[in-house]
C-alpha cells in the first residue's frame, strides 16, 4: 500500500475519474465502483465517507490502482486529483547557475514577491482596465490572501500559484434569475488567471516583435489586462543577476476548459524585459478609470419591436455584494444578451460604471459578450 496521506475527498476523486474516462457502475453512500472501458476492464472502488475510519486506507489503495493503470507515480496521481478543481500557474526562474535546483536568496525573494505582484496586478485588471493603478482595488489586494503557493519544484526553480477553478456548466443554468455571491467569488480566481494569461501573452508578443511596439498597440494592450504594475512585476525578477529568464506556464483545471485565446506558456528573457521596461514607462502615464469590467448573468430583458436598442439587467458582484447593473444595448448585443439568458451563458461587460450606494447601478457599454474566461467557446 502506498504511504501517502490523501488531502482530498470523494468529489475530487469522482471528478478526476470522470475526466480520465472512468464511469460509475454501482454503489451508494458508502462506496462506489467505477469502470474504465477497455481490454482489461479495470474497476476501482471509491470510498465516499470522509469521516470513515478506513477512508484514508481505501483512498491509498485507489491511488495505487490508478497509478498502475496510468503507469504514473503515485504522487503524480495524488497531486492531479488534489488539484482537479484548481488552476496551477508555474513561475519558473531559469538560468545556467540554477542547474542544481537552488536559487540565491535575493533572487528567490524577488520571485516570490513577483508572484504576488503578478497576481494582484492581474486581479486589478480583471476589475478595471487601467494603464497604471497606483492604488489597487481592495478586491485585487485580497487575491494575494486567497490563492495558495504550492511546494517549490526542481527544474531550475519553480514556484506554483494555485487558484480555484470551476466549470461554468456546474454553476449557470438557462434563464437563471440570480447569482450566488460565494460562487462568483470562486469564479473570480479563474477570471484573474485568464486575465494574467492573456496579458502576459500580449506582452510576450510585443517583446518578441522585430520592431518597437507603437503607442496605439501599448494603449490597446490595456484592454487585455496589461498594466505598469504587471510589467514591473516581470522586470523585478529578470533584472536580478541570477535569473536569465522567467517562464510562466498555465496548467488549467481539467474540470474547466482552458479559456480560448490564452497561451499555455510565455517566457521573458533579459532582451524581452528591455521592451517590457519601455512599455511600462509609457503605461505609467496612462491613468484613467473609464473602463470597468463586470461579470454575471442576464436576468432582465426589455425591448419593444420598433426599438433599435434594448434595456438589459445584468446581476453581478460589486464590492462583494450582488447588484443589478442596467444598460442599453444595440441590436446585435441585445440578441447576444437574449441568447446568453436563454442558454445560461455568463457574460462579461466593459464600460463606464456608476453604482451609487442605494441607487440604481448603470453602465455605458463599450464591449459586451459571453465571458471568455470560464473555458466555453460560445
Do 78 and 99 sit in the same domain of this protein? no
* Residue 3 within any structural domain of the chain: no
Residue 363 has pLDDT above 60, yes or no: yes
Instruction: Convert the pLDDT of each residue in 17-74 to its tens digit.
Output: 999 999 999 988 899 999 998 887 899 999 999 989 999 999 999 999 999 999 999 9
What does the radius of gyration of the chain's CA atoms come to, in whole angstroms?
A: 23
Q: Find the CATH number of the domain harbouring 336.
A: 2.40.50.140
Do 226 and 264 sit in the same domain of this protein? yes
Q: Characterize the bridge pairing of strands 291-302 and 309-318.
A: antiparallel
* Residue 56 within any structural domain of the chain: yes
* Confidence at 277, pLDDT banded by 50, 70, 90: very high
Do 159 and 128 sit in the same domain of this protein? yes
Instruction: Convert the pLDDT of each residue in 188-219 to its tens digit.
Output: 999 999 999 999 999 999 999 888 999 999 99
* Confidence at 134, pLDDT banded by 50, 70, 90: confident
Cβ–Cβ < 8 Å for 352, 364: yes
Spatial separation of the C-alpha atoms in residues 308 and 353, rounded to whole Å: 22
Q: CA of 258: how far to CAs of 161, 261, 264, 283, in Å? A: 16, 9, 9, 29
Q: Which of 299, 201, 208, 172 is nearest to 259 (CA)?
A: 201
**Domain final residue, candidates 82, 113, 129:** 82
Do 247 and 369 sit in the same domain of this protein? no
* Confidence at 377, pLDDT banded by 50, 70, 90: very low
State in Å, rounded, how far the first CA of the chain is from the last one: 45
Q: Find the CATH number of the domain harbouring 66.
A: 3.30.920.30
Do 128 and 146 sit in the same domain of this protein? yes
129 Cβ contact partners less than 8 Å away, ≥ 6 residues apart:
222, 223, 225, 291, 292, 293, 350
5 Cβ contact partners less than 8 Å away, ≥ 6 residues apart:
56
* Residue 113 within any structural domain of the chain: yes
**Domain final residue, candidates 283, 300, 319:** 283
Range of the domain at 114: 86-283
* Confidence at 287, pLDDT banded by 50, 70, 90: low
* Confidence at 286, pLDDT banded by 50, 70, 90: confident
- According to DSSP, the residues that pair with 90 across neighbouring strands are 160, 249
Do 77 and 95 sit in the same domain of this protein? no
Instruction: Convert the pLDDT of each residue in 301-310 to its tens digit.
Output: 999 888 889 9
| Residue 316 burial (CB count, 10 A) | 27
Q: Which three cell numbers stand for residue 318?
A: 460589486
Give 175: exposed, middle or buried? Use CB within 10 Å, 0-12, 13-18, 19+. exposed
* Residue 5 within any structural domain of the chain: no
Do 59 and 94 sit in the same domain of this protein? no
Do 134 and 70 sit in the same domain of this protein? no
Cβ–Cβ < 8 Å for 96, 244: yes
Instruction: Convert the pLDDT of each residue in 288-300 to its tens digit.
Output: 656 899 999 999 9
Q: Give one word for 175, left, alpha or beta, with left for phi > 0 and alpha for psi -120 to 50.
A: left
* Residue 1 within any structural domain of the chain: no
Do 361 and 243 sit in the same domain of this protein? no
Do 131 and 41 sit in the same domain of this protein? no
pLDDT at 107: 85
Per the structure, how many domains does the chain have? 3
What number is the average pLDDT over the span 219-237? 93
What number is the average pLDDT over the span 163-186? 86
Spatial separation of the C-alpha atoms in residues 91 and 93, rounded to whole Å: 7
Do 156 and 185 sit in the same domain of this protein? yes
Instruction: Convert the pLDDT of each residue in 76-108 to its tens digit.
Output: 999 899 989 999 999 998 877 767 778 888 888
**Domain final residue, candidates 237, 266, 283:** 283
Residue 311 has pLDDT above 70, yes or no: yes
Amino acid at each position: 500500500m502506498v504511504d501517502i496521506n490523501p488531502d482530498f475527498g470523494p468529489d475530487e476523486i469522482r471528478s478526476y475519474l470522470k475526466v480520465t474516462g472512468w464511469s460509475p457502475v454501482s454503489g451508494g453512500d458508502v462506496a462506489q465502483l467505477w469502470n474504465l472501458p477497455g481490454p482489461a476492464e479495470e474497476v476501482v472502488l471509491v470510498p465516499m465517507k470522509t469521516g470513515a475510519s478506513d477512508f484514508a486506507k481505501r483512498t491509498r489503495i485507489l491511488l495505487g490502482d490508478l497509478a498502475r493503470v496510468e503507469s504514473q507515480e503515485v504522487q503524480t496521481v495524488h497531486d492531479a486529483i488534489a488539484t482537479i478543481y484548481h488552476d496551477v500557474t508555474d513561475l519558473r526562474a531559469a538560468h545556467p547557475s540554477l542547474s542544481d535546483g537552488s536559487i540565491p536568496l535575493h533572487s528567490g525573494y524577488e520571485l516570490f514577491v513577483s508572484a504576488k505582484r503578478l497576481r494582484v496586478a492581474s486581479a486589478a485588471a480583471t476589475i478595471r482596465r487601467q494603464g497604471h493603478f497606483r492604488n489597487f482595488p481592495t478586491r485585487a489586494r485580497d487575491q494575494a490572501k486567497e490563492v495558495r503557493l504550492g511546494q517549490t519544484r526542481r527544474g531550475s526553480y519553480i514556484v506554483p500559484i494555485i487558484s480555484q477553478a470551476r466549470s461554468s456548466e456546474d454553476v449557470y443554468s438557462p434563464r437563471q434569475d440570480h447569482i450566488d455571491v460565494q460562487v462568483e467569488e470562486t469564479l473570480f480566481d479563474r477570471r484573474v488567471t485568464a486575465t494574467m494569461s492573456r496579458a502576459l501573452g500580449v506582452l510576450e508578443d510585443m517583446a518578441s516583435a522585430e520592431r518597437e511596439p507603437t503607442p496605439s498597440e501599448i494603449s490597446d494592450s490595456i484592454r487585455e489586462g496589461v498594466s505598469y504594475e504587471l510589467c514591473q512585476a516581470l522586470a523585478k525578477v529578470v533584472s536580478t543577476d541570477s535569473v536569465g529568464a522567467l517562464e510562466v506556464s498555465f496548467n488549467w483545471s481539467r474540470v474547466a476548459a482552458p479559456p480560448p485565446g490564452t497561451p499555455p506558456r510565455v517566457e521573458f528573457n533579459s532582451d524581452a524585459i528591455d521592451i517590457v521596461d519601455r512599455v511600462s514607462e509609457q503605461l505609467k502615464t496612462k491613468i484613467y478609470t473609464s473602463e470597468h469590467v463586470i461579470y454575471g448573468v442576464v436576468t432582465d430583458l426589455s425591448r419593444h419591436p420598433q426599438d433599435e436598442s434594448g434595456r438589459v439587467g445584468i446581476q453581478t458582484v460589486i464590492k462583494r455584494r450582488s447588484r443589478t447593473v442596467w444598460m442599453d444595448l444595440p441590436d446585435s448585443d441585445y440578441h447576444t444578451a437574449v441568447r446568453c439568458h436563454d442558454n445560461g451563458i455568463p457574460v462579461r461587460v466593459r464600460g463606464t460604471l456608476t453604482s451609487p450606494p442605494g441607487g440604481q447601478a448603470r453602465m455605458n457599454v463599450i464591449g459586451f459578450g459571453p465571458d471568455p474566461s470560464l473555458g466555453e467557446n460560445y
